[in-house]
Structure 1
Amino acid sequence: MKRYLTLLVLASAPLLASAGEASDAQLIERAVRDYIESQHQADPARMERGIDPQLAKRTYWQAADGTEFVMHTDHDTMVRVARTFNQDGSKFPARPRVDINILDIDQRVATVKLSADEWIDYMHLYKNRRNEWKIVNVLWQYHDTARQVSRK
């Protein structure tokens, strides 16, 4: 009987150890929520927690003269956006839309689609050695692509 109980306890140990830890999907969702909710709540610390220092955020844009180009945004700009964009609380509805669809997770990389009120973001994330998921790439567009034109 002792032997059976020992085997049962040993076999259950990995399950018990992981029961209190967040799953990769939960950690990925947290990184994506840090990214979007930091903009809702003007919280740059959450933005920094969710994105990699080498973040590359891009969209296809049209200049006022009709030429098209890829517009780039980096880590520092996104932290500044989180700090300043919605300081007065007027940029988003009272209950902003946040739909997170994890498209794929493969060991240390993941692809996510975030649908927010006015735009979509396709994101690539990686898991670092500290078991943190970070957003490293974002490709985005407005739902209404006519808005992706410089007015100047």
Structure 2
Amino acid sequence: MAIYIQLILACFVLVSGCSNATTDIEKKAIETAAKSYLIAQIEARPELMEKVTDDELIKRTYWQDQQGKEFVMAMDKQGLIKLAAEYNLSGTRFSAQPKIELRILDVDKRVATVKLITDEWIDYMHLYKTASGEWRILNVLWQFHQIQKHKSVR
């Protein structure tokens, strides 16, 4: 009986060890996809943005128009690719050592939620794992740290 219990415990330890290894691999892949989204903007690499985002991506934030009316501003994948190509062409939009802090908030099989913190803003992202095993960004909700910046200039 004692040998039987030891075998069960040994199997449990082996299985839990394998699942942790998979979790670490998955977390690294999620981290790579989320950070690539920011690196694409920092380094003006639209092809990288194309790779890590889903075709149905929507990036949103709240905004005020010139009359002060608040609305939800949205950008699709093509807009985000264009942003990556143009936003930092001058090389002055980010500090020499930009802050890239990533917190994986939750992972459940093929979906994940992360918080990406930069010098100027935060992004909450939803990612999913494709059938081919790649993690892609599907949704982004973002906000400037200085929320008064969420308005159109008059």
- Give the TM-score category using the shorter length: 0.7 to 0.9
Q: CA deviation at 1:57?
A: 0.5
TM-score (norm: length of structure 2):
0.84
Q: What is the aligned length?
A: 136
Q: Which of 75, 89, 92 matches 1:90?
A: 92
Measure the CA separation in 2 of the matches of 1:50 and 1:96.
Answer: 20
Measure the CA separation in 2 of the matches of 1:45 and 1:26.
Answer: 21
In structure 2, list runs of 5 or more residues that go unmatched.
1-13
Partner SS for 2:44: coil
Letter of the 2:82 partner, please give it.
R
Determine whether 1:124 maps to 2:126.
yes
Residues 1-152 of structure 1 mapped to structure 2, 5 A cutoff: 23-152=25-154
TM-score (norm: length of structure 1):
0.85
Measure the CA separation in 1 of the matches of 2:58 and 2:90.
Answer: 27
Partner SS for 2:27: helix
Q: CA deviation at 1:96?
A: 0.4
- CA-atom RMSD in angstroms: 1.8
Measure the CA separation in 1 of the matches of 2:84 and 2:66.
Answer: 27
- Runs (4+) of structure 1 moved beyond 4 Å? none
Letter of the 1:33 partner, please give it.
K
1:21-54 residue CA offsets vs partner (Å, 9 max, x unmatched)? x711011011111100010001111111111111
